[in-house]
Amino acid sequence: MFILKIGGSSGINYDLIADDIAALVKNGEKMVVVHGGSALTNEVAEKLGHPPQFVTSVSGYTSRRTDRRTLEIFEMVYCGQMNKGLVEKLQSRGVDAIGLSGLDGRLWEGKRKAAIKIVQNGRRRVLRDDFTGKVERVNTDLLDLLLSAGYVPVLTPPAISYDGEAINVDGDRAAAATAIALGAETLVILSNVPGLLEEFPDEHTLIRHIPAQSLDKFMAVAQDRMKKKVMGAQEALAGGLTRIIFADGRVENPVRRALNGEGTVIE
Amino acid sequence: MFILKIGGSSGINYDLIADDIAALVKNGEKMVVVHGGSALTNEVAEKLGHPPQFVTSVSGYTSRRTDRRTLEIFEMVYCGQMNKGLVEKLQSRGVDAIGLSGLDGRLWEGKRKAAIKIVQNGRRRVLRDDFTGKVERVNTDLLDLLLSAGYVPVLTPPAISYDGEAINVDGDRAAAATAIALGAETLVILSNVPGLLEEFPDEHTLIRHIPAQSLDKFMAVAQDRMKKKVMGAQEALAGGLTRIIFADGRVENPVRRALNGEGTVIE
């Protein structure tokens, strides 16, 4: 059993990924899929007249400003078009997929951040109306129920707060939390680059192997969105996973290539 | 066990409905919820520059023209904003809801119509690129699995064709098919009117009771979208249900009122 996280950046080829999942499922592989939807959310938010905003925390992480309207648009894209689009691609290839958000059956539960400290134009500011948080509990009973019945769960943010509000959570870290909760050994994270790059965006500078104990050092190398992927990998390792692979989601057989060690392998 | 269909027309109060579902679930009632999203889909489709179109079949039924782009927008609203919005409302009231579309686990399977015959400007035309169909098979194993584990399934179109394509299906008729498949006795259909009206839209002309064997006669009374609700009721009766109630989704305690016989009761 492994966890497959598929990013939401442009360029990632969901058809090729669905082909590969179908081949793996035919071979009897069990997996849980987690996906994003960031690029399309930006596009739809623009069109709906509520353009995306990103904020940078005081510790240097970038995240989507998630007011209530953004959350609605987020759900439209992540849970609507992206999730059902992927479920359809999988079903049409013979994979019995079931798409769920973190709200459904309280699949991904966590605390909503009461306040987030950001830096804006060089000044510190506190946001209190943001709907973001972090997955702290995974409903493994529900996942086991579906996996035992032969379904492939296809999961996507948002998660749910302890008070029952939808909260935006990072998909890579949610995938890591899911892998830990299910006791999986491997987490594959597909994005629109071949892995962690020594000199982003030069793809020839791919870092092929990182020993688990030295992952910390690579945080400085990670750019932008890759920072959270490295953070997710750190959490996954701390939670007992033995292998995390950052790999290319734009190529043929992307999942099998990753499982065969193409990309950045952290172990 | 009963099936509750909540319409997607404007005016329907999802907060009051969620309150009522929570009270019923607290009392140990089991149910499956089915919802629509028509009004919001029209709004979003306009904003996204792909305005809704409706076609009238040669037999006089109106339905949404569903090309591929419409289907994407449909999924955004029905499976994204509406479904997750309702799941969130229920979860925040202590109801362990799980939202699914007909694609998930092939919950609602049926044939895609190869061609639909419509009347346009008085002339007959055939549409071949429409993604619509009818629910013919319900995955009751999946529903039983979730119900037995204590979840409240919250279902929404689209359904899935035998070839694995998403297809737009009528929500009322999908709810009827679900009720039949689960062997439910009662189907409650909430909309933005108090029930079937003798003289639409005069709400004082509510028809309070229709004996099952004379429902046919009332097809002529049904206006517009109500036609498909009556058709759904006919199918539900033919499939073994004993009671269908059309009731008002804008009022307090709408579900309990309906179950107590307020609205149009067909039995």
B116 in a domain, yes or no? no
- Mutation target to probe the A interface, by most A beta carbons within 10 A, among B73, B87, B93, B154 is B87
Q: What pLDDT score does A133 carry? A: 96
Identity of the residue in A94, A96, A163 whose CB atom sits nearest the CB atom of B105: A96
The pLDDT > 90 percentage for chain B reads 88
B66 in a domain, yes or no? no
pTM for the structure as a whole: 0.97
Residue B24 has pLDDT above 80, yes or no: yes
Q: Kindly give the residue spans of alpha helices, DSSP state H, lying in chain B.
A: 14-26, 38-47, 68-75, 83-92, 140-148, 171-182, 226-238, 254-259
Residue B17 and residue B252 in contact, taking contact as beta carbons nearer than 8 Å: no
CA distance, residue B70 to nearest chain A CA (Å): 11
Identity of the residue in B80, B98, B164 whose CB atom sits nearest the CB atom of A104: B98
Nearest residue of B to residue A139 by CA position?
A: B96
| B76 contact residues in A (CB cutoff 8 A) | 44, 76-77, 80-81
| A72 contact residues in B (CB cutoff 8 A) | 81, 85
| CATH number of the domain residue B209 falls in | 3.40.1160.10
Number of domains in chain A: 1
Q: What pLDDT score does A59 carry? A: 84
Residue A66 and residue A130 in contact, taking contact as beta carbons nearer than 8 Å: yes
B122 in a domain, yes or no? no
Residue B164 has pLDDT above 80, yes or no: yes
Q: What pLDDT score does A60 carry? A: 83
Nearest residue of A to residue B73 by CA position?
A: A81
Q: What's the distance, CA A89 to chain centroid?
A: 19
- At B237-259, the pLDDT tens digits run 999 999 999 999 999 999 999 99
Q: What pLDDT score does A132 carry? A: 96
Contact A105 B93 (CB under 8 A): no
- At B103-116, the pLDDT tens digits run 999 999 999 998 99
Stronger pLDDT, A86 or B224, i.e. the higher one = A86
Identity of the residue in A75, A87, A163 whose CB atom sits nearest the CB atom of B80: A75
- What sign results for the dihedral spanned by CA atoms A237, A239, A243, A244? negative
Q: What pLDDT score does A102 carry? A: 98
Identity of the residue in A48, A72, A160 whose CB atom sits nearest the CB atom of B91: A160
| B68 contact residues in A (CB cutoff 8 A) | none
- Mutation target to probe the A interface, by most A beta carbons within 10 A, among B47, B68, B76 is B76
Q: What pLDDT score does A219 carry? A: 86
CA distance, residue A97 to nearest chain B CA (Å): 6
- Mutation target to probe the B interface, by most B beta carbons within 10 A, among A76, A82, A83 is A76
The DSSP line for A8-74 is -STT--HHHHHHHHHHHHHTT--EEEEE--HHHHHHHHHHTT----EEEETTS-EEE---HHHHHHH
Q: What pLDDT score does A220 carry? A: 83
Q: Kindly give the residue spans of alpha helices, DSSP state H, lying in chain A.
A: 14-26, 38-47, 68-75, 83-92, 140-148, 171-182, 226-238, 254-259
Q: What pLDDT score does B84 carry? A: 98
Closest CA to B102 of B49, B177, B3, B52: B177
Q: Which residue has the tokens 């129920």?
A: A145
Contact B44 A47 (CB under 8 A): no
CA distance, residue A52 to nearest chain B CA (Å): 16
What is the rounded CA–CA span in Å between residue B159 and residue B178? 12
- At B88-98, the pLDDT tens digits run 999 999 999 99
Q: What pLDDT score does B151 carry? A: 98
Q: How far, in Å, are A66, A159, A172 from residue A164 at the CA level?
A: 16, 9, 22
Q: What 8-state DSSP symbol labels residue B242? A: S
- At B38-75, the pLDDT tens digits run 999 999 999 999 999 999 999 888 889 999 999 999 99
B63 in a domain, yes or no? no
B241 in a domain, yes or no? yes
B120 in a domain, yes or no? no
Which value does ipTM take for this structure? 0.97
Q: What pLDDT score does B225 carry? A: 76
What is the rounded CA–CA span in Å between residue A252 and residue A143? 28
Contact B77 A80 (CB under 8 A): yes
B227 in a domain, yes or no? yes
- At B109-152, the pLDDT tens digits run 999 998 999 998 889 999 998 999 999 999 999 999 999 999 99
CA distance, residue B108 to nearest chain A CA (Å): 12
Average pLDDT, chain B: 95
Residues 6+ apart with CB under 8 A from B202: none
Structural domain boundaries enclosing B166: 2-49+77-108+136-266
Q: What pLDDT score does A61 carry? A: 85
What is the rounded CA–CA span in Å between residue A238 and residue B186? 51
Parts of chain A with a pLDDT under 50: none
Contact B166 A84 (CB under 8 A): yes
Residue B226 has pLDDT above 90, yes or no: no
Contact B80 A85 (CB under 8 A): no
Stronger pLDDT, B84 or B219, i.e. the higher one = B84
Q: What pLDDT score does A88 carry? A: 98
User: What does DSSP say about strands B116-120 and B54-57: parallel, antiparallel, or unpaired?
Assistant: antiparallel
Residue B3 has pLDDT above 80, yes or no: yes
What is the rounded CA–CA span in Å between residue A222 and residue A225? 8
| B83 contact residues in A (CB cutoff 8 A) | 79
